[in-house]
Amino acid sequence: QDVIQVSKKYLPGMAVGYSSAKLTLHVGDGFEFMKQNQEAFDVIITDSSDPMGPAESLFKESYYQLMKTALREDGILCCQGECQWLHLDLIKEMRQFCKSLFPVVEYAYCTIPTYPSGQIGFMLCSKNP
């Protein structure tokens, strides 16, 4: 919640999406939220911190299984997927379990100069082949 408030205060031009009528933002325990919602979402975006400490569970098969259950029939998800130059073993593990859950799985990345490696990746999954 603090990140959102600081973004609105110091980066108002980048934080305009928070006021969109199309946005429903949930900040909290992703596992608990997913358990409470089945076939409820067209899109799930998980913007997590790195896969250590409290966020480690968000990079595990059990969380992806909960997201799959929370997605509608044609749902898609996009989750933080780390950097291929620094976390290739984790990415391979994630792709493997995602392929057992979803008919479509892709890894994508973008460049972000302020990140340690200069890039960040995303795991993209779809229930619709």
H-type alpha helices, the chain: 2-10, 30-35, 61-70, 88-101
Is 47 considered catalytic here? Answer: yes
Which residue in 47, 50, 74, 89 is the catalytic one?
47
Residue 127 near residue 102 (C-beta atoms within 8 A): yes
Q: Give the DSSP letter string of 13-28.
A: TT-GGGG-TT-----S
Q: Beta-carbon neighbour count of residue 104 at 10 Å?
A: 13
Residue 48 near residue 56 (C-beta atoms within 8 A): no
Q: Which residues pair with 108 in a beta bridge?
A: 122
Residue 77 near residue 43 (C-beta atoms within 8 A): yes
Residue type, 49: S
Q: Enumerate the active-site residues.
A: 47
